[in-house]
Structure 1
Amino acid sequence: MTSLTPERIIQVGMGFWPARTLQTAAKLGLFTTLGSQSMSGEEIADKLALAPRAIPDFPDALVALGFLERDGEGPEARYHNSEEAALFLDKASSAYIGGFLEMAHDRLYPFWEDLGEGLKTGEAQNEAKRGMASIFETAYSSQESLEQFLSAMSGISTGNFKALAADFDFSPYQTHCDVGGAEGILAIEVARANPHMSCLTADLPPVQPIAQAKIAEAGLSERVTTRAIDFFKDDLPKADVITMGMILHDWDLPTKKMLIAKAYDALPEGGAYIVIEQLIDDARRENVFGLMMSLNMLIEGGDAFDYTGADFAAWCTEAGFKKTEVMHLAGPSSAAIAYK
């Protein structure tokens, strides 16, 4: 008799249930509303303008998922954030990643309904399919949408940036440029962990004041500067270390190779080029999130895709780099490093 059960199939197949519950809680601001306090179900419903039917199922589901904790039973029960939710899902926390969940709620979830069509056509299933502006055009269409997009990117990347800043040996280098640096978080973390480094974060002009504000808030304006560039049109700034966090996977192979070549040209001999991605394992069997992210890039860009460390090594060798390596950072993410 087989010991197999359909439990895992059901969990994965119905995975949109817990995903949408968590996304919705983040979008409603539940974890930020709770903060460091506790509330009854009735108080939660009042604060979030929920219907009576939402209680107790909604908060209890989050208890079962491990994102809320509950003291007591029945109507008198009180809910508070789990340690994990308090750290990562309360906007008051410096480790907040909820922006990514909000973007998933607002954009990605509806687009994934058309994954099958994307697999058959190889074409993007996002705004472009609907005759709307692209993700980047949409993100830059207003200050509010730009800040949400940048917050989402920072949220999913900050842990990786901290790990790179702490674990990569920056001692042989003096200057660092983060290309496509968004809010400047990577440059801030490198400067914070390596007091000898002078850092630059480079991105499109509308991003510059947002990054400057983050840098000033971190008290690092003397060592972290900003520059407005368009990496499609402009040469990359010269630096001993050039980084790109979740940039290469946005594009097709010719564009990936173009950006790698630009990084090579901007580095001195012995310089390092570092990309941070959810690198797919070389055997393409283990990093589920990396493979899901690559399918997401199909949804977003059609011919955009994520890649393996071996892919990166081949492209960088072709560009002239002497040596490459992969450094694991956090969760499914790694840094792929090429030395000139």
Structure 2
Amino acid sequence: MADAQLNSSRILEVSMGFFTAKTLLSAVELGLFTELAHDALTGREIGTRLRLHERAIYDFLDGLVAMGFLERDGEGPSARYRNGDEAAAFLDRNQPTYIGGLLEMFNSRLYGFWGDLTTALRTGKPQNELKHTGSSMFAEVYSDEARLEQFLYAMAGISLDSANALADRFDFAKYTSVCDVGGATGQVSMTLAERHPHLHCTSFDLPVVAPIAEKALAAAGLTDRVTITSGDFFTDQLPRADVVVMGRILHDWNLEQKMHLIRAAYDALPAGGALVVIESLIDDARRTNTVGLMMSLNMLIEFGDAFDYTGADFTGWCREVGFDSVEILPLTPAMSAAIAYK
């Protein structure tokens, strides 16, 4: 018999998590938080601007109030809605801190694919575009300019907090150059260049990414501090630098490919150089980091044999390649930097 003090509330909360997730994702898709960036609006005004059916308006908006993403002044039809602090900072498309690009990708791609998680658990096979069209996730995303730009800006948005934390917490004083491998729009390179004027940074990614990265770099006014370089990190040598950064790169690949990338970084570094890998590292006991474990399941959905990993896993791989030592540097509640020194 169940303990009288136990109840099923947490089970229900977790199992209904897709209700709240999809409500937030739809709000971002509709541009709700951008619409509310300057003025508080009534439900009817929001419904008109976003073309919402009147049946849906108040459940939708008040649900977001209950979640803390909106605030409401007043009651009833005359009440006015405005952005909460988090939504104002991170979900207004006109803010430099916007992370909604990632949520847009969750909404347009991953939300549907996760419906096939049970199939992935039983087969070990990807449940994304590869299943439906025969093309890999990267092939699909990189073949369409609009989808590629959405993906790259999603990566930029999610990289901002960890890039700022890395700039603050890692000692760059003894280094003069940084190469960000898989640099997307150059967000990490631009952040480090802005915070550490002595650094010259290189953002390395596929040739199709370069025009998007160069546009972002020009908008930031950092063309003299950051270089955009193109190549394929599986077939080309990495640019030489004192520090090689890989943000959310290693988890996209299987173990053989992970080892290839770690060796490539080792070869690109001088003695005393550092490989900095930014990931949602799973705790070594695999008991507490829900985000890291769910991200690893997402790698199953996306790639099948790709996976996230622990700091201990990373340490073993780096020692096998020849790195002298490894340290783990927490960056944000969900992200850490695993740093291997040559």
TM range (shorter): over 0.9
Unaligned segments of structure 2, at least 5 residues: none
Matched position secondary structure for 2:340: strand
Residues of 2 paired with 1:134 and 1:66: CA distance?
37
The alpha carbon displacement at 1:206 in A equals 1.4
Matched position secondary structure for 1:119: helix
Provide Cα deviations, 1:219-262, integer angstroms capped at 9, x if missing partner.
21111111011111100000000001100000000000000000
Residues of 2 paired with 1:126 and 1:140: CA distance?
14
TM-score by length of 2: 0.98
Matched position secondary structure for 1:56: helix
Residues of 2 paired with 1:131 and 1:100: CA distance?
23
The alignment status of 1:102 with 2:94, answered yes or no, reads no
The alignment status of 1:86 with 2:81, answered yes or no, reads no
Alignment root-mean-square deviation, CA: 0.9
Equivalent in the alignment of 1:296: 298
TM-score by length of 1: 0.99
Equivalent in the alignment of 1:49: 51
Runs of 4+ in 1 over 6 A off after TM superposition: none
Residues of 2 paired with 1:133 and 1:220: CA distance?
36
Give the alignment partner of residue 115 of structure 1, picking from 102, 114, 117. 117
Residues of 1 paired with 2:52 and 2:134: CA distance?
32
Residues of 2 paired with 1:112 and 1:135: CA distance?
14
Residues of 1 paired with 2:60 and 2:185: CA distance?
33
Alignment: residue pair count: 340
Give the alignment partner of residue 243 of structure 1, picking from 242, 245, 256. 245
Matched position secondary structure for 1:249: helix
Residues of 1 paired with 2:144 and 2:255: CA distance?
30
Equivalent in the alignment of 1:200: 202
The alignment-based identity, stated in percent, is 57
The alignment status of 1:181 with 2:146, answered yes or no, reads no
Q: How does 1:1-340 map to 2 (within 5 A)?
A: 2-340=4-342
The alpha carbon displacement at 1:153 in A equals 1.1
The alpha carbon displacement at 1:132 in A equals 4.2
Residues of 2 paired with 1:87 and 1:59: CA distance?
18
The 10-residue stretch of structure 1 (145-154 or 59-68) with the greater mean CA deviation from structure 2: 145-154
Residues of 2 paired with 1:185 and 1:155: CA distance?
8
Matched position secondary structure for 2:275: strand
Matched position secondary structure for 2:235: coil
Matched position secondary structure for 1:95: coil
Provide Cα deviations, 1:29-48, integer angstroms capped at 9, x if missing partner.
11011112111101111111
Provide Cα deviations, 1:45-85, integer angstroms capped at 9, x if missing partner.
11111111112111010000000000011110100000110
Residues of 2 paired with 1:102 and 1:134: CA distance?
20
Matched position secondary structure for 2:283: coil
Matched position secondary structure for 1:239: coil
Matched position secondary structure for 1:275: strand
The alpha carbon displacement at 1:315 in A equals 0.2
Residues of 1 paired with 2:142 and 2:28: CA distance?
23
Matched position secondary structure for 1:306: coil
Residues of 1 paired with 2:134 and 2:91: CA distance?
30
Matched position secondary structure for 1:20: helix
The alpha carbon displacement at 1:144 in A equals 1.0
Name the amino acid aligned to 1:119: L
The alpha carbon displacement at 1:329 in A equals 0.5
Residues of 1 paired with 2:133 and 2:151: CA distance?
20
Name the amino acid aligned to 1:192: E
Name the amino acid aligned to 1:111: F
Name the amino acid aligned to 2:181: V
The alpha carbon displacement at 1:300 in A equals 0.3
The alpha carbon displacement at 1:131 in A equals 2.4
Name the amino acid aligned to 1:241: V
Residues of 2 paired with 1:220 and 1:36: CA distance?
30
The alpha carbon displacement at 1:133 in A equals 2.6
Matched position secondary structure for 1:80: strand
Residues of 2 paired with 1:321 and 1:255: CA distance?
18
Name the amino acid aligned to 1:238: R
